[in-house]
Each structure stands twice: as C-alpha cells, then as structure tokens.
Structure 1
Amino acid sequence: MNTPSTSSFGNMEEKLFDLLGKGFELDNQITSNPEKKKQLTHDYLNDINIVFASGFELPAMDPSWTWFNVEEPLTFDHFKYRIVILDFFTYCCINCMHILPDLEKLEGIFGTDQVLIIGVHSAKFENEKIDGNIQNAIKRYGIHHPVVNDRQAKWWNQLQISCWPTLMILSPALRPLKMFMGEGHLDKVRYFVEEAMHFFNMSDSSTPPKRLPPPSCLGQVVSSTFLKYPGKISLWKDKILISDSGHHRLVVINRSGLVEQVIGSGVKGFQDGHLTSAQFSSPQGGIFIKNHLIIVADTENHSLRQIDLASKTVTTLAGNGQQGRDLSGGKNGPGQLLASPWDLCLGSSPKALETGELDTLFVAMAGTHQIWGLSLEDSSWWKGVSRKQGDIFAVAGSGVEENRNTSYPNKAGFAQPSGITFSSKLQSLYVADSESSSIRSLCLKTGTVKNVCGGSRDPTDLFAFGDKDGSSVDVRLQHPLGLVMNQSQDTLFVADSYNHKVKAVTHVTGKKAECQTIADISGLDEPAGMAFDPDTQELLIADTNHHTLKVYNVNTKVIRDITVHTSDETDFTTSVPVLKLRGNYDFKLQKDILFRTTEATIAIKITTILDSALKLNQDAPSHWKLVLPEGWHCASGLKGSFQADPLPVDLIVSPQSRPGPIYVEVNAYLCHKSDGLCLSKSALIELNAEQCDNPAMHTKSLALAIHL
C-alpha cells in the first residue's frame, strides 16, 4: 500500500489528526442550548476551513478504480458544490453493515443535489478486493449510492483512515470538515451536515453542482434460480429450511428441491402476522424447534422471530427491529434488544448436559461479538445463575472485538461470530469467528473458550488470515461463516467463505486440531451456511453468490446441485403492503421479476387501496408514471391519470433488451371524507427485472397492492 510523501502533502498527517482532535472537542462541547450549539459548530467550521484553506488537495482518483451504481466514473467535478460524505467501509464488517440504514436515511433527507454519499470500499480481506464480490455485496445489502473500489486503499492511507467504518465529510471545495468513526452517529452527522450547508450558504449558491450520471443496473447480476443469496440452512426430518436472505424470506423445501412453504412476503420490513404477509430483513440462521415451530435470526431486524407452520403465523420473540447495544441481556420478550443475530443452534445449559436435554437456543450475536442464549425451559448456569423460560442473555464474550481465549466466559473475546454448532458428545459449542478467521470452542460444562484452528496467538490481531491447511494456529482461513458437526466422527465442516472452500477439522478436542480442504468440493462462491445429515452422510452447502444449494456425500465423494423449484399449481405470489420510503415518497415496494427473451410479456397489476376515511380528490386527478429499462416498452403507455376508487393499473410490459429496474410511480391526491381536508401521497414501486431462460421460473404476471 502506498503512503503520501511529505513533499506531496506537506504536514497533511498533522492536519488530519488535528481535524480528528478538533472534531472530538466539538462533540464534547455541544450543549442543550440550540443557539450555543449552532455557534460552536460554526466556529469549528470556520477554524477547520482555515486549516485546510491552503496546501490541501484531495488525493487523486485512480483511473483504474471500478465504480458501482453509476453508469460512468465520478470525478471531482461531481463532488464540487456539494457536501460529500465519504464512507470508508469493507463489506465483511458488521459495523459497516450497521450504518447502511443511517446512510439510506441521510440520502432520503438530503437527496443528491446538495449532499453526495460515496462508499469508498477499502478491503480488509483479499477476497474483498475483487470487483465481482463487491458487486454481489452491494446488491445483497441494497446499497444505492455510488461506491468505488479503492483496491490498494490509497485514499485510506493518504487520508489517514484507521478503522471501519469511518465517515469523512468534505466541504463544497473538497476540503475535510469532520470525521465520524464507528457506528451510532446518525443524529450528529445529520446535524453537522445541516449546519455545514448553512455555513457555506449552499441554498444561495449560483453555481449548480454537476449532474450525476444515471444509476447503473448493478453490473447485471442475474439469477435464474428460485433463491437469491441464500444464507444459513438447516435440516428437520425430510425438510430443508433455507434463509433466502436476498429475498428477505424463508423457504422450506423437500429433499428433491420442491418448495413446500415460503415464509414472508419477500418485501424487506419488520412485520408479524400471516406467513404470506410477514416481513423479514436479510434473515440468516433458522432452526426447527418442533415439527411446526421454527425460530429464525432476523439479522437486519436485530430480532428473533418464531414461525408457527400450524397456525401460519409469525411472531417476535426478542428484539423490536432496532439495533441494541446491551452486552448482558436477561430480559424476556421483544423488550430485549439484540444486535445482528447471525446463526442459531440447539444445545444444553450446563445443568442440562447431565440429561442431554436441549433446553437452550444459542445465538451467534455478530453485532456485539458475543454468544447469547434463549432459554426454552428454566435452566441453571455457571456460578448458580438461573434463567427463566423465555429469557435471552449473553453467555460468553465481553463485547470487545478480539479473539481472546480464557477460562472466564464473560472475559472471552469474539470477533463477529457468524456460525455456531453444538456437540452433545463433546459438551461444547463451536463457533466460526469470522473476523478473526478462526474456529473457536466454548465448553458448556466449564465456560472455557479455546482456539480450535486458525487465527493468531495475539488476541488483538484480527489479520491472521489466508488459505493454508495444517494444525491449530498454523491454519489460515479467510472469514469463515458457517460450520456444522459430524458428531459420529467429531469432525467439523467449515464454510471457509472468502476462500470459496469447505474444510474438514478433525481432532477438535486436542491441542493439534487438523484442518484440510475437501478437494472434491470446488467452484463455490462465498458459501455461507451448511447442514449435515448423519443418516445419509450428506453435507448440504449454501453456495451463496451462485444462488443455489449443493449436496456432498461424505462417503461416495459425489457432489450434486439441488434445483429449488415449485410445482405447476403452486403460486407463491401474493399482494403485499408496501413499505415506508425515504425522501419524497410515502411508500416504496421492491420485488424481483424474471423474464425470458423468447417470451417476454409481463402483466403487472397495481391496485391502490384507500384508507376507509379517505377518498380521491376529483378536482386534482391522481396519476401514475412508468420508467422502463432501455429497449422495453409498455402497451398502455408510460403514464396516465385515475379518478376511480380504488383503481387497478394494468401494465403489459415487453422487454426487448437488457435487464434492469422498472419503476412505477403513483401520486394520489386525497381528501378526508369527514372534513374535506386534502393531502397527497406518493408511492414508488421498483421491480428488479432479471433474465431467466428456465420456463419453470418465468414470471408472467405480478399483482401488487399499494395501501394509501
């Protein structure tokens, strides 16, 4: 990695550290007095503007950088006359994931005319430097603002960035104003940007910023399968439960791949209710508790949800959709806030180890770098601690991100644990500790946390990664996400995600655990989850970026694909309510549709459903507008008005060219029936059209509902 010379940047390092120091000083001085707060902020802006007024130039952009979400690379001309927020991130980082909703809110508040958010991807892992992997992450996380791949971390080094995530705010003259390190700064960032806009008189600027290039189609990532970025998988008798994370839903299939149940509307959100209308947000670990009960880690909703297949309902067990920062827990129900639960497994509390009762659901809590537990029955723990049924609490991990092994579970350190499995025979949990690139064990009898393989001897070193088989800490993994135990042979299977491999770990209880790559399993792309069937000796693998499942027979060494499909008479498309949208829209709906180039006519029926207290304003006709990808056309035109109540808008769309997003904008002018007071509401529907030449997967019609 290159660092700037003093001749090029002078005392730049000193100035940037001064910026950081003055920024902390400002945060400490801010008072509850609004006028005093504003004066302090403007004094700070004046001082910082003087510091960087001369001798500073933003480091040059590398012409080899790849840009995402824009059809052509941005230049400094796009930055000028805007407040620019640079988000230095790496896509593996849970803290970076946590601030994505904040950035989305800022986009909605400020738009792009005066404030521009740029993701500067500065990779931690070698795998994260690859354009295609970043592209998949952008689509998986739903990032809409421009992102640039700074492969060699040039800006990271030249601008003295030291942690992920870091937000650097630039003035309209491209000078640093402030840095925010870590997560949880939404209100501070919003306030600072608003005051910076006032300070620089941006509303009175006579020079408009350069128009941004149009958004791209996210690199044309096309999936012709039923699944989209599947995460964790689990087995129950003849059923396979899949976290269809990219579609924000769960899918239950049989062993031949036939879909038996889809759980969730497919719309990103947080809503309990019927299986078809409930909403999830990038769910990961899921597990059957009984024949009809499933618990799922609803990761981006920071919650645990229960699915009852008998009553066809979804309820919330813990969490309320908002990220928590509690490191102890102990509450019962949705009042206990969580932080990015990533994986689940059934296991035993220390007392229950004696009987073998599976009385605890263990949670890999990636967001706080801990292992938590949900008591399914009253349970007893170390040092005589008792837990009531329904309690959810921290089991191990201090919350500090590290790979610290110790005999004291609350002082152990994990680093974004993302996979977890239980061995009743060995009375231990095993953890895929992704950010330390290691496999760890937690003895449930004693509470001792040990290293199994990978990672570093230095508990603060989270950069001991690579691709090397061998013994114990000589092993090198790269961001493992999943693991599962073959209990009959005490063998762990590891989804070594960023090495795109599956590895087997033997002698897991000894001082020299052996890790070897399974050579027969190849061609994977960031596998994230696995399940093992002891009866058939089959290992199921979620081949995440290929949107499919694979099955490997441990005895015969044969690997095959599972094609997830529906029967001809099964229809999982349902009308669903839309979500709250940032910015100028009251509602937003996102769904995927699949089309064939040889038979490419799609009927889209949109129904507006009015609140019973409202009616359409006949004096101000409501209207809709359609925006299509290049080469598409609509038989009924691209816009129209409506005055009926309610109104179905039927669009017949035929694509002739490339995939892309279809946008349907609905603007409704409404009046209250009781007092005649009028209001307007707007909705935006985004349909991500992807090419699919599999006849079984082709969507010929789609019914959507907008609740106004």
Structure 2
Amino acid sequence: MISDTGNSRILIIKEDGSILRQIGGKKLGFKDGSLDDAEFNNPQGLVFQNKDILFVADTENHAIRKINLKNDSVETVAGTGAQGHDRQGGKIGKQQPISSPWDLCIYKTPDMDLTFHPDGNPPVRDVLIIAMAGTHQIWALFLEDTVWWKCKKHPAGTCICIAAFAQPSGLALCAKKKEVYVADSESSSVRRLSLVDGKVTPVVGATGNPNNLFAFGDKDGALFDAKLQHSLGLVATRDEKFVFVADTYNHKLKKIDIVQNSVTTLTMPPLCVPSANPPGLCISSDNKRLYLVDTNNHLIKVAHLGGSCNITKITKVTLKKLQDTRQVDKSKYQVLSKKPVNVNNDGGKLIITFNIEFDAGLGLTEDAPQTWLIDLPDPAWSSVPKNGNDVKNFEVVISVPPKKDAKENFVDAVFNLVTCTSETCLPKSFIVRIPICYTDKGATSLNNKSNISLGPSSVKS
C-alpha cells in the first residue's frame, strides 16, 4: 500500500509497480463508503491488521479510517473530521475528536484481566498505536474490549492518550521487545516507548532535556552525542536489531543499532541520486528490500540490503496501470481536440476550467444523470476531482509528472449528458481532449479554460 498524500488516495500495488486498486483520490474530502466513493484529506501512515483490514491516518481530516478490502468499504473509527484539542481522550469511535494523526502501528497484547482467564492463557487483543502529531502525543485505539495497563478495562473503540512527546511522527514497532520506537520530529530525536508500562527512554538525538527543541544537527554517534534534523519515518528490521530512520532535513537515510543506541548514516551507491526529504519507510518480509518514499522527487525507491543491513544498490518503483475492464470505450465518443498545452519537462500543476454553453433551446434534462470524468495517461498523473455531475462549469487540478518518454499525452474529459429541447431528448456523449506537450521552457503552473458549445445537432469547442 502507498499513501499518496498529495493526491489524497491510497494505492494498492504489486512489487513490480502494477496498480491493483486506487482507493479515494477522485475528490478531496471526508466521506465513508465504497473503495471507489470514499474520500480522504492528505492521508499519511498506514498499517495492516490482516490481509483484508487496513487502517489509515487521515491527517487533515483528523481521523482514523478503516479500509476493508473484503467488504469493499471505508469507515471512520476515530475522529470527527474536525481538529480536536482533547489531550486525554476516553470517548468511543467517531465521538472522540483527535488532532493530525500521522503514523500507525498495531500492538498485540495479552488481555490482562486474569480473573476471566484462570488457565493463564488470556486472549490476545489488538491495540492501534497512533502518533498524534497535532497534540504531540501517542494515543491508543482499542480495537477490542481490552484490559491493559494497571488492569484498566477499555471498551472496543475507546481512544486515549498514553504518552507525551515533542511531535511524534513515525512509529516502528518491535513486538518481541514490546516497544515502539518514535520519530520525535520537533526534538530531532528517536525515542522508545515501552508498551508494558509506558516508560519513555532516549535512543539517539536531542539532549537530556526533552524540552530542548534546538539540539538538531547531522552527526553519527550514540545517544545524545548523535544528532538528527526533523526525523520522520521509521521502520524496524524483522529481527528487531536495527531501526531505519528517514532524517528528512538532512536528506539522509540512517540506521540505528537499538542495542547500542547508536546511529550511522547509510552510504548510497555512487550512481544513486540522494533522496530528497525521505519521510516514509517500509521493509519487505524477507528483510532484503527497504522501500523509501522520496517525497520531493515524487518517487518510491527500493534500497536493496546486504550484510548488516547496508545498501548494495537502489532502484525505483515505476507505477504501471493495469488493464481496467471498466475503461471507457472512446470509439463511441465525438472527440473535440483543443490547442496543446506546453508544460515544463519537470512537470507541474494544470488547472482546467470547463464551461458548457447551450444553444437553440437546448438544455439539460431535469433529474437525468449527467456525468463527467477525467481520463489520464497513466497513474503517475492525477486529477482532483476525478469525476462529478456538476457539468455546466467546473474546475479540475491536474498534477502532471516529469517527462519520462516521447509519447503524446492527452487529458481527456469524458462527458455523458442527457439534454433536451421542448420537443425531444438528445443524449450527448463527447470527449474534450487537451494535448499535453513537454518543453524545456514550459511553465510549471498553468491555467486553461475550455469552452464547449452544445446545440441540438452539434457539439463545438
């Protein structure tokens, strides 16, 4: 899974980059429902509970969302959709306001109520651990009725604060050690939180004074002698010997020995371009590939790991669009070609306004379905919104990726309208095609207006 934050969508991909499914992304918003209809707002951290259930830190919606791949559904399990200021919690589900959740992990803990488990084999409960960046805390969302610290009972759906930090961002669970490592970005450090008793201890970075937010830098070493700058992403190796940290403002990937509490900078192979602002990390099940979100370059990179988890080479994941059986058959549509738009070779943002005008007594048929959708060259492109039914005058924002080949690219707006005169109804199906040309001197931010004139017997642009 990839949390494509800028496009407010979740992508399910295969290891070769083939996209299996897009969840959300048609429109920025806060909406539960099917995987196609759901809306997100700058989602960040993701975690699987099992092969069918995925939780999402929907950051700008201030909510935790649950994706059920088996039931084809998205639902909100915590948060109201508005930023909360509660620093204690205790409410259940959508009644509990939260603030800018950033990352997630799931801790499996034995239920501590031995009264009901005299055989000494209590059931294991799932607890969702949340880096709540907005209130500078770590919270827990109990996915089942759970008796936890100090034998306190928490009903399913309860969301509470369990620890305070400077600004927790990334989380890395070490289940065997019953610890979660926290990228505390504002203190430029990594700290550990015991999931047995809530004790917080230093790992690397910062100083002995947790209130000092200016002890940042770029230095390998142990404990407080080491220096980071705005650490964000974390991931632990499968044997829980090392934790990788995305040291974002230093534009570096570093490795923490969690036994020695020491950090070293990982050397990139000579042919690799250093990552620019790497915030997110994920490791493969065989411990041989580290997936790195390279935000400023809009890439997913793969660091191939050798002995002692050092990098041997770096490749990148190229997103590939799978054949979609629901794809539009464009042979049935009239195509209206517009003037080409020149975009910079580095890509950019294209804002397109579509305006439909009606002639000779033609208008939209009342209560009939009126739809449009934006069809793009490949998954590296995105449109917000992606479709809609307000067809007379609307605006879309197209994210154009950097040039990667010489082929022609088109942005197609596909319209399916039902129109009528005073005498008859006339369906209108047409495509407004805008060619995109890459040039060295093209702009990175453009506005384009597309006017369409509809008459009873014609469609003109």
The TM-score with structure 2 as length reference comes to: 0.73
1:429-471 residue CA offsets vs partner (Å, 9 max, x unmatched): 1100001100011111121111111012222211111100001
1:480 matched to 2:220: no
- Summarize the Cα distance change of 1:540–1:571 in structure 2 as closer, same or farther, 3 Å threshold: farther
CA contact (8 A) 2:111 2:123 kept: no
Distance in 2 between residues matched to 1:244 and 1:261, nearest whole Å: 13
Going from structure 1 to structure 2, the CA distance change for 1:347 and 1:572 (only over 3 Å counts) comes to farther
1:249-328 maps to which residues of 2 (within 5 A)?
A: 249-328=9-88
Aligned position for 1:456: 207
Counterpart pick for 2:253 among 498, 502, 508:
502
- Paired position in structure 1 for 2:262: 514
Judged with a 3 Å threshold, the aligned counterparts in structure 2 of structure 1 residues 587 and 366 are, in CA distance, closer, same or farther, namely: farther
Which residue does 2:435 correspond to in 1?
654
**Take 1:490 and 1:579, find their aligned partners in 2: how far apart are those partners?**
53
1:396 to 2:169 alignment? no
Larger mean CA deviation between 432-441 and 648-657 belongs to 648-657
Residues 615-626 of structure 1: pairs in structure 2 closer than 5 A:
none
CA distance in 1, matches of 2:138, 2:420: 53
Distance 1:386-1:337 versus aligned 2 partners, 3 A rule: same
SS in 1 for 2:6: helix
Higher share of residues assigned strand: 2
Matching residue of 1:370: 137
1:590 to 386, 397, 400: 397
Query: What is the SS of the residue equivalent to 2:106?
Result: strand
**Shift in Å, 1:270:** 1.5
C-alpha distance in structure 2 between counterparts of 1:530 and 1:310, whole Å: 26
Mapping of residues 304-703 of structure 1, within 5 Å: 304-349=64-109, 351=111, 357=124, 359-397=126-164, 414-508=165-259, 513-520=261-268, 523-555=274-306, 557-567=311-321, 569-570=323-324, 576-578=386-388, 588-593=395-400, 598-600=406-408, 602=410, 604-607=412-415, 650-656=431-437, 657=439, 658-659=442-443, 660-664=445-449
List runs of 5+ in structure 2 lacking aligned partners: 114-120, 328-372, 375-385, 454-461
Cα shift at 1:488: 1.7
Equivalent position SS for 1:461: coil
Distance 1:248 1:562 in 2: 22
What's the counterpart of residue 336 of structure 2?
Answer: none
C-alpha distance in structure 2 between counterparts of 1:332 and 1:383, whole Å: 20
Letter in 1 for 2:265: T
- Pair 1:435–1:450, CA change in 2 (3 A): same
Residues 143-182 of structure 1: pairs in structure 2 closer than 5 A: none
Q: Distance between the aligned counterparts of 2:318 and 2:112, measured in 1? A: 38
Cα distance in structure 2, aligned partners of 1:334 and 1:609: 38
Contact in 2 for aligned 1:548/1:561 (Cα 8 Å): no
Aligned mates of 1:453, 1:579 — CA distance in 2: 53
Kindly provide the CA deviation profile for residues 534-579 of structure 1, in whole angstroms up to 9, marking residues without a partner as x: 5243222112222222222332532232323325524798664459
CA RMSD in angstroms, aligned pairs only:
3.3
d(CA) in 1 for partners of 2:207, 2:325: 50
Task: For residues 62-89 of structure 1, give each alpha carbon's deviation from its aligned partner in whole angstroms, at most 9, with x where no partner exists.
Answer: xxxxxxxxxxxxxxxxxxxxxxxxxxxx
| Offset, 1:392 | 1.6
Q: Residues 297-330 of structure 1: CA distance to partner in whole angstroms, max 9, x if unpaired?
A: 1111111111111222212112232111111112
Structure 1 counterpart SS, 2:64: strand
Question: What whole-Å deviation, never above 9, does each CA across 1:327-356 have from its counterpart, x for those lacking one?
Answer: 111222222111111000011457569979
Name the residue aligned to 1:102: none
Distance 1:264 1:456, change over 3 A: same
CA contact (8 A) 1:318 1:338 kept: yes
Name the amino acid aligned to 1:297: A
* Closer, same or farther: CA 539–345 of 1 in aligned 2, 3 Å: same
1:482 to 1:604, Cα distance in 2 relative to 1, 3 A: same
Q: Is the 8 A contact 1:603 1:650 kept in 2?
A: no
Could you say if the C-alpha distance between residues 435 and 594 of structure 1 is closer, same or farther in structure 2, counting changes exceeding 3 Å? closer
Instruction: Report the residue type matching 1:661 in the other structure.
Output: L
Describe the shift of the 1:356–1:458 C-alpha distance in structure 2 as closer, same or farther (beyond 3 A).
farther
Instruction: Give secondary structure in 2 for the equivalent of 1:367.
Output: helix
Deviation at 1:655, TM superposition (A): 4.2
- Does the C-alpha gap of structure 1 residues 243 and 461 become closer, same or farther in structure 2, counting only changes over 3 Å? same
**What's the CA shift for 1:595?**
9.0
Q: What does residue 61 of structure 1 align with?
A: none
Structure 1 355/439 Cα, relative in aligned 2: closer, same or farther at 3 Å? farther
In the other structure, the counterpart of 1:699 is none
Matched-pair contact (CA < 8 Å) for 2:172–2:243: no
Residue 91 of structure 1 is matched in structure 2 by none
Q: Which moved more, 1:242-251 or 1:309-318?
A: 309-318
User: Quick one: structure 1 residues 329 and 665, their matched pair in 2 at CA, closer, same or farther if it must change by over 3 Å?
Assistant: farther
Q: Which has the larger radius of gyration?
A: 1
Q: Distance in 1 between matches of 2:398 and 2:201?
A: 44
Counterpart amino acid of 1:460? N
Helix, strand or coil at the partner of 2:224: helix
Match of 2:337 in 1: none
- Whether the aligned pair in 2 keeps the contact of 1:428 and 1:444 (CA below 8 Å) is yes
Change (3 A) 1:417 1:667: farther
Identity %: 36
Query: Which aligned pairs between 1:20-31 and structure 2 lie closer than 5 A?
Result: none
SS in structure 1 at match of 2:300? strand
Is this contact kept in 2: 1:379–1:386, CA < 8 A?
yes
**What are the superposed Cα offsets for residues 638-688 of structure 1, whole Å, 9 maximum, x if unpaired?**
xxxxx99876563232345525434447899xxxxxxxxxxxxxxxxxxxx
Q: What is the total number of aligned residue pairs between the two structures? A: 377
How far apart, in 2, do the equivalents of 1:270 and 1:297 lie? 13
Is 2:101–2:131's contact at 8 Å kept on the other side of the alignment? yes
Change (3 A) 1:461 1:289: same
1: distance between equivalents of 2:206 and 2:105?
A: 23
